[in-house]
Structure 1
Amino acid sequence: MAGFDLDGQVTVRHFHLYLISDATGETLNAMSKAAVSQFEGVEVVERLYPLVRTRKQLERILADITQAPGAVMFTLVNHELRDLLTETCLRLNVPCIPVLDPIIGALGSFFDAKARNQPGRQHALDAGYFRRIEAMNFTMAHDDGQSTHDLSAADVVLVGISRTSKTPTCIYLANRGIKAANVALVPGVPLPAGLDAIAPGGTLVVGLTTSPDRLVQIRRNRLLALNAQTETDYVDLEAVKREVADARRLFLRRGWPVIDVTRRSIEETAAAILSLHDRRTGTEASPPPPLLA
């Protein structure tokens, strides 16, 4: 529970959090952020230690924990390393959390199978890995209106006015193996011919829009960061309202699905696009078959 000072304000407490992984640590990083975000008045100093696979590596980390004790979250499959880490945390009286154990245990019981206990197995260089690399290369080559001659080769094309999160959304999609391109709508500039070359029912084109008020705020912050002039049509509210309205009319004429990103995170926008893509390609998850008696 968060504390409060004499003025009724939430007081912030600081903690150390150690993330120890025998792989890249991506899983740990995501899980720790999701968990810590649930606590008000808590701020953590995270220290991530990836690719920990030897006793010598772990002993150096344990020296850090001993010097500044804090909670530990880990994904280690080596039993010797797990035992050493657990014993040290017990001696220091700090939590030591094997984050994947409950999941692997429950699935093992359900599958009636034993886990492989192989470090970094989720990052094996399989076909999916190479598909993601190919998608990332495509996306970077087709960012912000580049290489518009072959937009029909994309899985998804995002269209929207400036600062509607097109690029980060495309990168997120590419990391999921989706070849994503994006095209910016600029007042007075015609659409690239590559968009017209997309056959009906072919590549999915999605329009991104947002609130004019929010867009002005984002654009103004962008100009300030660049030390650029801040009194232009780019951040004029009435001009931005016209941009947004013109973009919506374009999306309607073209029959493109529209996603309002005003209150969506990149992940939420990408999830909505993936759902549209799956329906378009017929890969949407179907209900599971009935269990056999």
Structure 2
Amino acid sequence: MKKIKSKIFFTAIVSAVFLSGCVTTGEYEQIRADITKLHIENSQLKQEVSELKTRMDKMSSDLSTATALKEGQLTLIAQTQDYVKELQILKGRFEESSYSNDKKFKELSDKIAELQAKLTQPQQPIPQKEPEQKKISPGQLKNPKEIYDSAHVDIKEKRYASARDKFQEITKNYPDFELLPNSYFWIGETYYSEKKYEDAILAYEEFLKKYPKHDKAPGALLKEGMAFLELKDKKTAKVVFERVIERYPKSKEAEIAQQKIAEILKSQNSGKKSTKTKSKTKTKSKQ
């Protein structure tokens, strides 16, 4: 269509020139060549404009992509900075918790060491009062299973010292006995039943050191905390109960330990309130 228009334009010019009678054949050819050149230059110019427009569109697209990437990078940097801050906070909490736990466990270890030192001091033997029934000494039995079963009979009959002797016989002379771990546990139980809580704590601790993953381990640690509670040492008892929850979080003993901690905290809060009330009463009486 454009070519047709150009031809019509060219013909009109040529016609006008010839009609005027002022142009020679050579001038006509020159004019025609100039017009053709202008047409070619015009086409090239249009092509260059089109290419320039294409490049501009591409640059605009690249610029939009770069802007989006920069915004994404800035967002990512901001998120990373937030994560770093959160990580620092969590690290601080972890270090604080770790220090607190280490301190508590050190106090517990010191307490147990103190009990060990206290119980190793020479003391006057206290005669044991037991029901007058026929006792079976470990030496009269043939194998560790018989000794073990006999010890449990003694426990049912509340002959705790006799039962303990038999369990101790097993721990000393039958290291391959399948119920050896249980024997260590029941030594603690005999002491606890006799209300010898300090001895019970040491016995439970020995069992836990030897068999920390045994089925009876949660119960032994819980009873250790109960023994400290019976000794009116609520602070250490709380540490032990927390240890139960930490080591055996899904156990029934952990639930009981949580209840015991709640009871300790409740009693401590009640004591604080009572102290404040007494203080206020004294202040009023002075006035």
What is the TM-score with the length of structure 2 in the denominator?
0.22
**TM-score of the superposition, structure 1-length normalised?**
0.21
Name the structure with the higher strand share: 1
Whose radius of gyration is greater, 1 or 2?
2
